[in-house]
Amino acid sequence: MLYLGCHLSASAGNVAMVRTAEQIGANTFAFFTRNPRGSKAKPEDPADCAAAVEALNTGGFGPLVAHGSYTMNLCTADSDARAFAAEVLADDLRRMAALPGNFYNFHPGSHVGQGMETAVEQISAALKKALAPGYPVTVLLETMAGKGSEVGGRFEELKAIIDAVGDNHLGVCLDTCHVYDGGYDIVHDLDGVLSEFDRVVGLDKLKALHLNDSKNPFASHKDRHECIGQGTLGLDTFKKIINHPLLRGKPMILETPNELPGYAAEIKLLRAL
């Protein structure tokens, strides 16, 4: 099954997102669990969550890929800010229990001079604390472009967090723009990158993808998304990804610079590949 979708606004609630997804030909989607540039979350609405779960089931949706706030940095050097980020993570995971069986993806963080080893320890500690046993959510670490002191630009860094947490509630979301900007050449050697991922992390941990073309050249460590087929990855790369047997059945989320009509067109374009 090809599960394709995009980022949707959560402001009108979960059921509204399911309906919007259906209108644009999506059978999965992503949404921010709270203000992506802040930390404010909407009040919880159990009835809306229950109705959304029902609508997702009857609509044949694949797993959703919720996205944590960009400002949640679990490895910031400021200990108060770090503690606050850990609380935000714990609250997000607790809220995700109302949408059981879906994914929660976040950016591991930026170590801002503390070093990768300290960052891995701090991120793992926050995850261990937030992951209550029995939570029906799988937490995904996103592959990053390795911009500045970003954690997650190398598969080894994600593996180190997964090992330190030692919990099978963790997986990885592979962002095509980020890995290419990060120095993994999915344009010329998709199979090689996937086998490197398998060697370092294990393909069983690869749970979802972000489909983004890139405005920047290979290994630029920049992270600027482009519309599908209009960047340095090119349409051929997405054709290979969409049809790759090892990636089949995983939710694929567009985070391209588009409004809804643009997303609908990209979903259509990708399905035709």
What is the set of active-site residues?
37, 67, 70, 107, 142, 175, 178, 210, 223, 225, 255
Segment interacting with Fe ion (CB under 5 A) among 32-40, 50-58, 141-149, 237-245:
141-149
> What is the total count of residues that contact Zn ion (CB under 5 A)?
1
Binding at 157: pick from Fe ion, Zn ion, none (beta carbon under 5-8 Å per type) = none
Binding at 210: pick from Fe ion, Zn ion, none (beta carbon under 5-8 Å per type) = Fe ion
Strand partners, 213: 226
> What is the total count of residues that contact Fe ion (CB under 5 A)?
4
Q: What one-character-per-residue DSSP string does 165-199 give?
A: HT-TTEEEEEEHHHHHHTT--TTT-HHHHHHHHHH
Residue 175 binds Fe ion (CB under 5 A)? yes
Binding at 92: pick from Zn ion, Fe ion, none (beta carbon under 5-8 Å per type) = none
Contacts (Cβ under 8 Å, ≥6 apart) of 63: 3, 28, 101, 102, 103, 207, 208, 251
Residue 181 binds Zn ion (CB under 5 A)? no
Residue 223 binds Zn ion (CB under 5 A)? yes
Nearer to Zn ion, 52 or 251 (CB): 251
Rounded Cα–Cα distance for residues 128 and 143 (Å): 20
Q: How far is the CB of 5 from Zn ion (least distance, A)?
A: 17
Nearest residue relative to Zn ion (C-beta): 223
Q: Tell me which H or E stretch contains 65.
A: strand 65-67
Give the Cβ contact number of residue 228 at 10 Å: 26
Selection from 36, 16, 98, 23 nearest residue 255 by Cα = 36
Rounded Cα–Cα distance for residues 176 and 108 (Å): 16
Nearer to Zn ion, 84 or 230 (CB): 230
Strand partners, 252: 4, 209
Segment interacting with Zn ion (CB under 5 A) among 60-68, 71-79, 131-139, 219-227:
219-227
Footprint of Zn ion (CB under 5 A): 223
